[in-house]
Structure formats: C-alpha cells, structure tokens
Structure 1
Amino acid sequence: MGSITVSNLGKAYKQYPTRWSRLGEWLLPFRGARHKLKWILQDINFHVAPGEAVGLIGINGAGKSTLLKLITGTTQPTTGGVAMQGRVAALLELGMGFHPDFTGRQNVYMAGQLIGMTVAEITALMPDIEAFAEIGDYMDQPVRVYSSGMQMRVAFSVATARRPDILIVDEALSVGDTYFQHKSFERIRAYRRQGTTLLLVSHDKQAIQSVCDRAILLDAGRLARSGPPEEIMDYYNAMIAERENQKLEVKTLDSGKVQIISGSGEASVAQIALLDEHGAPVEVVDVGAAVTLEVTVQAHAPIPRMVLGYMIKDRLGQAMYGTNTHLKEMPLAAVAAGSLVRYRFAFPMNLGPGTYSVSTAIVSTDTHLVNNYEWRDLALVFTVINMRRPHFEGTAFIDPTIEIVQL
C-alpha cells in the first residue's frame, strides 16, 4: 500500500534583471543576491492515504505540473519535502523519456527500467503490454512515426504493466480516442479496487468525480480548497465565474454539504420544490412516479432574454439528466425587473434508487458561459426509492418489454 505526504512544499525560480546580474552573483557572491524569487508553489500540505484516490485540479498555470514533478522527484523543491511509501508509476508528460528514433518495443524496455523493472520482467510482460496498447505492427516502428494517441497508449501500457502501489497520472489520458480512455480508466479502477493509491490530474469533471474520493484545488500556486470531488469541481467552476466579475457564494447546508452559488445576480431562484402528482411537495419519490419540478425565478434587473435550466445529479455529482428552456425553444424575452416567473417541469422519475440533487442555471442562451445570472448547485435534494417495481440495477429505470421466441 502506498501513501504520499507533502509537507510545506514550495518551488521558486530565480529571476535576474539582466544576464550580467547572474554573472555578478556568481563572481561576487559576497556582494549579496542580485535576483528575485518567482514562486510557482508555496506552502503546499496534504496527505494521500493508502488506497485513496485524489484528484488535482486548477486552471492552466496554477502549478499542477510543477507539483507532480516535485512529487515524482524530477524537480527539486525550494522548501519542504515529499515522503512516499511504495512502488510508484507516473505518467506525466506524453511519451516522456521516449526516444523518437527507437522503436516502441525498444522504448518500452527503456521506460520499464526507468520505473524499476528488470529486463527479464519487461520481457515477460511484453505480450500484455502489446495487447493492451493495441498498436499492432507499429510496436516495431520508430516512435517518430507515432501519433500522440499511439504514444499515450504505449506509455500508459508500460507504466501500468504491473500494479503499482502509487499511480500518478497527468493530463496525458486526455489525448487519444474515447475507446482507449475508457479502457485506461477501467484499469485504473481495477487497480484502485486492489489497493493502489491514485493521484490524478484532469480537467475532466466526470473523471474526477467517478474515480476520486477527494479533490484538491490549486490556485496561483497555493492549495485553495480540499474536499469531496463534487464540491471542489463546483467551487472551481464558480471561481472561474467570479473572475469574470460574477459573485461567488459558499454556503454550508444543514446536511453538512457545501452549496456553491455564482453568477452576476440579475436573477435568482426564489423557490424550488419537487411536487407529486397531487401537487404536494415531496422529498422521497417512488421509481417511475409522476413528478413536477417547480422553480420560481425572480428578476432583479431587466433581462432581455431569460433561460432556465436544471441538471439532476447523483450522489457523486454525475449528471443524470439536464435540459433548459432554450433547448425546448421556450425562452422568455424582455423580463422586467422585480417580476416573478414560475416554471414547472413535469416528468416521470425514471431513476434508480438513491439520493439525487438538482442544480439550476439562469442564463440567456444554452450555456452558463454567457450571461450567467445565477448558477446554483444543490438547489434541491431528494431520494428515490423502489416501492412497486421489480428489483433492477443501475441509475436509470428503463423497463423493457420482453419477447422470447424459442426456435
């Protein structure tokens, strides 16, 4: 079982006003420093427990790649340190360490030895590596003729040929086809079930929420927030909205969950409820029951075009279903300041048993990236139970009509 402990970690680079300043500092060290420090990371502290999966997120330039290099030892820290226990496999930069003039097979031998495998072990594992990479005869072609997706296939296959105690994966998995991404994540999930500790860097919300137990948000070289993946991803999206001069509000609900509200504030959700077929508010719903999501929106300023959308998520934050009045061709035009608008969305609750939440978005188009008046996570929480249907597995109730013909 592997673990990672990061303590007071910091990385800074020296910046000199001129090249002569650098030379002067070398030749005349007693005259004092002539540089300034540019801090890339400062005061980073966290612990990844054995068997835990942690996602690392942040905008480009937040320091994620530098942090991974410090953790894996390819870059030395300015302050603090990293302690790791267990065998580590890291997939940082695409094809890092691959020589373009060597074949894929030759590069597998080199990369395998770099992560601690012997030649005999690599030879024994080669059939599995080839089978997982699925690049055929290209394994014996120079890497310079590979596409980026092929390089990723080989790099991931060799890095995960043996189950490591710690697996560190950067954005490399975002390269390549959807089929191999699914295949790779299935291997990661399998290793997780066997006890591998995972540190994953990705901008893919679904990947973070489906694989990780916890997420860490880096912002401007500092650890901004740590918590459940859904909460951190929502906070990350709201933080980006705040930088576009939109408000950011963080509330702790009675349930202990953290609600994120962001937007410019021209409109807001005044009331939201889930109603049964008789119009009564409910918090527990039977599978397949007819329900109505009722949302009352108040406009605080004149809005030329108003669209309301909602998204139903499971307990992990995975999207179950979402739509809006733009997609349904029912936007409202010229909404006056101070007016109230009540929306009713009627549908059968064809979800599997579990706890779900509803997020709402008041926008002007089909996306919250343009005129985001309000985005509200955890606007409503409800539970689905199965009281009348035969037992089934999954998050969706797609009850079939079955026909069997014996021939």
Structure 2
Amino acid sequence: MGSIVVSNLGKAYKQYDNRWGRLWEWVLPFLGARHRLKWVIQDVSFQLAPGEAVGIIGINGAGKSTLLKLITGTAQPTTGSVRITGRVAALLELGMGFHPDFSGRQNAFMAGQLIGLTVDEIGALMPQIEAFADIGDYIDQPVRVYSSGMQMRLAFSVATVKRPDVLIVDEALSVGDAYFQHKSFERIRQFQKLGTTLLIVSHDRAAIQSICERALLLDGGRLASQGSPEQVMDYYNALIASRDGAGVEQVVTEAGRTRTSSGSGEASVSAITLEDEAGRALETVNVGAAVTLRIRVRVHAPLERLVLGYMIKDRLGQQMYGTNTHHMDMALHDVAAGEEIDFRFRFPLNLGEGSYSVTTALTSTETHLGDNYEWRDLAFLFIVMNMNRKQFVGTSWLEPHVEILR
C-alpha cells in the first residue's frame, strides 16, 4: 500500500537582472547575492492515505505540474520534504523520457526500467503493453513519427502494465481520443478498487468528481482550498469569476454541504422555487413530472445587459443540465435599478432518483467569467423519487417504446 506525505513544500528559482549576474555571483560570492527568488510553490502540506484518490486543480501557472515533479523527484524542493511509500508510477509530461530515434518497443523497455521493472518482467509483460496501447505496427517505429496521442497511449500502457502502489497522473490523459480516455480511466478505477493511491491533475470536473474522494486547489503556488471535489470545484469556479475583485464566500449548510457564492452584487437571486403545473411549490418530485423552475431576481444597479443561467447537479456535484437566457436569445437589456424580474423555466424533470441541487448565475454574457453579478452554488435543493414509473437505473429517465419482431 502506498502513501504520500508532503510537508511545507516549496520551490523557488533564481532570477537575475542580466546574463552576467549569475557569473559575478559565482566568481565574486563575497559581494553578495545578485539574484531574487521566484517562488512557484510555497508552504504546501497535505497527506494521501493508502488507497486514497485525490485530485489537484488550479488555473494554468498555479504550480500543479511543478508540485507533481517535486513529489516524484524529477525536481528538487527548495524547502520542505516529500515522503512516499510503495512503488510509484508517474505520467507527467507527455512522452517524458522517450528517445525520439528509438522504437516504441525500445522506449517501453527503457521506461519500464525507470519505474522499477526488470528487463525480464518487461519482456513478459510486453504483449499486454502492446495490446493496451493499441498502436499496431507503430510499436516498432521510431517515436518521432508518433502523434501525441500515440505517445500518451504507450506511456500510460507502460506505466500501468503492473499495478503500482502509487499512481501520479498529470493532464496527459486529456490528449487521447475518447475511446482511450474511457479505457484509461477504467483501468485507474480498477487500480483504486485494488488499493492503489492516486494523485491526479485534471481540468475535467467530471473525472475529478467521479474518481477522487478529495480535491486540492492550488492558487499562486499555495494551497488555497481542500475538501470534497464538489466543494473545491465550486470554490475554484467562484475564484475564477472573482478575479475582477468580487468576493468569494463559503457557508456550511445544515445538511453539512458547503455553499459557495461570489459576485459583485449588481443583481441577486431573491427566491427560487420548483413548482408543479398548478403552481404548488415542490421539494420532492416524481420522475418525469412537468415542473417550472421559478427564479426571482432583484436588480440593485442599472445594467446594460442581464443574463440568468442555471445548472442542475446531482449529489456528487456532476452536471446534469445547464443553460442560460443568452443561449435562448432572451437576454434582457437596459435593466433599471430596483427592478424585480420573475424567470420561469418549464420542462419535464426526466431525472433518475436522487437528490439534486440548482446553481444560479447572473452575468452580462454567456459565462460568469465576464461580469459576474452573482454566482451561487446549492441555491436550491430537491429530491426526485420514482413514484409510478417502471424500475430503471441511472441519472436520466429515457423510457423507450419497445417493438419486438420475431
């Protein structure tokens, strides 16, 4: 069983004002330092228990890839320490360690030895590597003729041909085609069930939330948040939207879930209800029932353009359906301060049994990354129950009409 302990980890690079500064510092050290430190990672601490799956998220440049290099030992920390137990397999930069003039087979032997396999083991496992990579005759061609997807297939196949105690994956999997992504994540899930500790960097919200039990958010090289994938993803979205100066707030609800909100406050949602065809408010809804999502918005300042969006998520925070009035060609223009606007969205609730939440967004454009007036996660909660439909499984009710011809 593998584990990871990261303690006060930091990485800084020396920056010089000109190309001679490094030379003078080396030749005349008694004159003092001629550099300044640029911190990429600073004061990062966390632990992964054996068998735990943790995702790392953050904007480009937040320090995610540098953190993984420090953990795997391909870069040395300036401060702090990393302690790993068990055999480690890592997929960092795509094709890292591959020699372009060697064949895929030769690179597989070299890459396999780098993760601790013997030549005899690699030879015995080569049929499995070839089968999983599924690159055909290219296995005996130079890697320089490979596409990025083919390099990723071979690298992942070698790294995971034998189940590691710890698997560390950067965003390399996003390069592959849909089929191979599905196959790769299925192998990762199998490793999880067998006790592999997983650390993964990805911008894929669904992947993080379906695989990981916990998530870490890096921002500016520091650990900004950690918790459940839903909580951290919601905070991440709010943080992106708050770059223009709007604040981010997180509140723990009575049910123990964390509600995240952000925005500049020019408009806000004052009430949300889910109603049946007679206008009665609902908290529990039958599968497939006709409902109206009613959202009341109060405007606090004059707005040239107002867009309301909503997203329905399941209990894990995975997105079921979302849209907004921009995409519906129903954005409002020249909205006055003090106005109260009633939005009503009517649709059949073709969701499977379970608990769901509604996220709302008030913006001026199609996303909340422009003018973010208000973004609110867990704005409304409801439960879907199967009261009179035939039994089915899944998150969507797609009952078919069946014809059987013999």
- TM (norm. structure 1) is 0.95
RMSD: 1.7
CA drift of 1:188 comes to 1.1
Give yes or no for contact 1:314–1:356 (8 Å, CA) kept in 2.
Answer: yes
- Answering whether residue 404 of structure 2 is matched by residue 404 of structure 1, we say yes
Of 96-105 and 238-247, deviating more is 238-247
Of 261-270 and 93-102, deviating more is 261-270
Which residue in the other structure is 2:177 paired with?
A: 177
CA drift of 1:147 comes to 0.9
| Alignment-mate amino acid for residue 83 of structure 1 | R
SS in 2 for 1:44: strand
SS in 2 for 1:243: helix
The whole-number CA distance in structure 2 between the counterparts of 1:201 and 1:157 is 18
The whole-number CA distance in structure 2 between the counterparts of 1:326 and 1:252 is 31
Give yes or no for contact 2:355–2:381 (8 Å, CA) kept in 1.
Answer: yes
- TM (norm. structure 2) is 0.95
CA drift of 1:234 comes to 1.5
The whole-number CA distance in structure 2 between the counterparts of 1:94 and 1:384 is 43
| Alignment-mate amino acid for residue 337 of structure 1 | A
The whole-number CA distance in structure 2 between the counterparts of 1:303 and 1:27 is 62
SS in 2 for 1:311: strand
* Gapped regions of structure 2 (runs ≥ 5): none
SS in 1 for 2:282: coil
Of 173-182 and 3-12, deviating more is 173-182
Give yes or no for contact 2:241–2:368 (8 Å, CA) kept in 1.
Answer: no
Which residue in the other structure is 1:298 paired with?
A: 298
The whole-number CA distance in structure 2 between the counterparts of 1:405 and 1:21 is 83
The whole-number CA distance in structure 1 between the counterparts of 2:19 and 2:335 is 61
SS in 2 for 1:74: coil
Distance 1:384 1:119, change over 3 A: same
* Gapped regions of structure 1 (runs ≥ 5): none
Counterpart mapping for 1:101-140 below 5 A: 101-140=101-140
Identity score, percent: 69
CA drift of 1:256 comes to 2.3
Give yes or no for contact 2:241–2:370 (8 Å, CA) kept in 1.
Answer: no
Which residue in the other structure is 2:93 paired with?
A: 93
Of 194-203 and 107-116, deviating more is 194-203
CA drift of 1:288 comes to 1.9
Of 203-212 and 153-162, deviating more is 203-212
| Alignment-mate amino acid for residue 39 of structure 1 | W
Counterpart mapping for 1:233-382 below 5 A: 233-382=233-382
The whole-number CA distance in structure 2 between the counterparts of 1:276 and 1:190 is 43
The whole-number CA distance in structure 2 between the counterparts of 1:221 and 1:343 is 41
| Alignment-mate amino acid for residue 150 of structure 2 | M
Which residue in the other structure is 1:82 paired with?
A: 82
Matched length? 406
The whole-number CA distance in structure 1 between the counterparts of 2:306 and 2:102 is 58
The whole-number CA distance in structure 2 between the counterparts of 1:166 and 1:364 is 45
CA drift of 1:327 comes to 2.5
Distance 1:290 1:243, change over 3 A: same
CA drift of 1:333 comes to 2.6
The whole-number CA distance in structure 2 between the counterparts of 1:216 and 1:284 is 33
The whole-number CA distance in structure 1 between the counterparts of 2:146 and 2:112 is 19
Which whole-Å deviations, capped at 9, do the CAs of 1:59-104 have from their partners, x for residues lacking one?
2221111111110011111211111111110000000000000001
Which residue in the other structure is 2:208 paired with?
A: 208
Which whole-Å deviations, capped at 9, do the CAs of 1:307-358 have from their partners, x for residues lacking one?
2221100111111111222333333232221111111122222111111110
CA drift of 1:21 comes to 4.3
The whole-number CA distance in structure 1 between the counterparts of 2:302 and 2:223 is 39
The whole-number CA distance in structure 1 between the counterparts of 2:122 and 2:225 is 40
Give yes or no for contact 1:247–1:265 (8 Å, CA) kept in 2.
Answer: no
The whole-number CA distance in structure 2 between the counterparts of 1:247 and 1:82 is 34
